[in-house]
A = this chain, B = another copy of it.
Amino acid sequence: MASGGVKVLGTPYSPYVNRVQIALNLKSVDFEFIEENLSSKSDLLLKCNPVNRKVPVLIHDENCICESLTIIQYIDETWTTNGYSILPSDPYDRAVARFWSAYFDDKLVPLMRELKSVQKEEKVAAIERIKEAMVLLEEAYEKCSKGKSYFGADNIGYIDIVLGSYMGWIKAMEIVGGMKVMEEAKTPGLLGWIHKFMSNNAVKSVIPETEIFVKLLRARAIAPPKYS
């Protein structure tokens, strides 16, 4: 499909930006990736997203679309010709997909970001809460995947994109923090899913190597990126 003026403003290390890249890849939409320097944001970014001033931004038909979850749904509703659906067609299945995606962004990501600031004894409790959340996601995976590869069953769907985009950061966080938030005994499905997700053609060219995140985390002592 021709580019048709589709542009993505972002940085390659943002899981929120990666979501948009993956969604466009799944829909076979060509796009121009415009890398932003977040310490000196471009006039284009500030013009496109004057409210939140954040990446990702999708530019399509002169319109700017902001916020990763909103962008994924825009992509799903706009490019329908290749027959690929990111959200399921059934309203209840769509609600389930939106529920777990919101749970991840609103509950689990803040827990992971807390790890940066909490003291040693609180860290143990915070890691425990993350592990409990991962077990909930394991149960969600079992239900949604119906014995197939992805949360979206045969194909990568909405939850896959939302959660999967973060897995590089989570792996790096485990390495740098010397801990495990996903364990074979408790989240075998999720661990297998990560491998399948990361190996998918729409994904593997998008999400940077874990080693890069490890270096970024070590160099800047940063937590995984904030919600956008």
Contacts and interface: CB of A to CB of B under 8 A. Distances in A.
A91 B78 contact: yes
Contact of A99 (B70, B91, B103): B70
Interface in A36-62: 51-52, 61
A71 interface: yes
Interface string A67-88: 1011101100110000000000
Nearest to A94: B77
Interface residues of A, number: 26
A136 B66 CA distance: 15
Copies of this chain, tallied across the complex? 2
A124 interface: no
Contacts of A52: 103, 107
A92 B58 CA distance: 11
A203 to B, nearest CB: 23
Interface string A88-106: 0001101100110011001
Given A51-B136, A136-B51, A77 B91 contact: yes
A63 interface: yes
A126 interface: no
Given A70-B99, A136-B51, A63 B77 contact: no
Given A51-B103, A103-B51, A136-B51, A70 B98 contact: yes
Contacts of A102: 67, 69-70
A65 interface: yes
B74 A94 contact: yes
A3 B214 CA distance: 54
The residue among A52, A77, A91 with the most chain B CB atoms within 10 A of its own CB is A91
13 contacts: A52-B103, A65-B95, A66-B99, A67-B98, A67-B99, A69-B98, A70-B95, A70-B98, A70-B102, A73-B95, A74-B94, A74-B95, A78-B91
Counting from the closest, the 9 A-B pairs by CB-CB distance are A77-B91, A70-B98, A74-B95, A78-B91, A65-B95, A70-B95, A63-B92, A74-B91, A70-B99
Interface of A: 51-52, 61, 63, 65-67, 69-71, 73-74, 77-78, 91-92, 94-95, 98-99, 102-103, 106-107, 136, 227
